[in-house]
Structure 1
Amino acid sequence: MVSAWAAENRVVLGQVKTEEKSNDITAIPELLRLLELRGCIVTIDAMGCQTAIAEQIVEQACDYVRSLKGNQGTLHKEIVAYFRWAQRSCFKEIEYDYCETVEKDHGRIETRCCWATEDIQWLEQKEAWSGLQSVIMVEAEREVIGEKRTIEDATSLAASPPTLQNHCSSCVDTGP
């Protein structure tokens, strides 16, 4: 079952059952066709990060924030490497947005740092992603009392400028 969830309103907008011996990738386009999404930001986890799905979202007059993992070859690693390089150079001559969130709950502290930039001319695969305007990296640091501290990087592609109010909440919804 694939569901469309309105994060702001906390309600399911629609669902499509996946075919037997199939996966979410085939159901996502069908679910998107059923919904009036004009002007919305569609977030999808890494499984739905496919160029055809990105094209469909843009054709439906929407923006997207797509989580990346190893499912897109080296793209995730390239974006992490870019942001690490930018951090080492103190983002010299690079326009970017940044936000940080801290959550403390149940003996755990989680700090998320989010960077977003429209500087994507270096990205070789940018033409393959319909509407691509920015890349995002979220670094999540988790500390649990009595356990080892962990750090995880998540990256996303976005078909909208790097407005962090939107991207940070979108990345938190689908990120690490």
Structure 2
Amino acid sequence: MSEFLDLPNGIPSDDTFRRVFERINPQELERALQQWLQPLLGSLVGEVVPIDGKTLRGSYDREKGIKALNLVTAWASEQQLILGQNSVGDKSNEIRAIPALLELLDVTGAIITIEAMGTQTEIAGKIQEKKAD
């Protein structure tokens, strides 16, 4: 570790990492990561970009009444990178989360694949609006 970072007081504790992560604005972090990733990613023309929803196992808390976290993810197949994720609201579903995710991404020229639940007129329109197939 010393070849990357001088830590004269040792490795920070998990509490220190938690406090740092609590102060990070998730939207700003996402925006910064997208700006950093875009030059590495390049063009998505002709690339298959699957969009799929998944429920994260074990992310629920029965005692507090917190339901499991559902995410919709866009995946760049060739680069093997997640382009973006969007959480599905408690009283919502993937049909509403997919257009919101597409709004965040530059998928110009990409071939978008979605399972049957996502084959909605509004979603197809958003894909065309974003100049993807």
Q: Structure 1 or 2: larger strand share? A: 1
Higher Cα Rg, which structure: 2
What TM bracket, shorter-length normalisation? Answer: 0.3 to 0.5
TM-score, normalised to structure 1, is: 0.35
TM-score, normalised to structure 2, is: 0.46
Q: Structure 1 or 2: larger helix share? A: 2
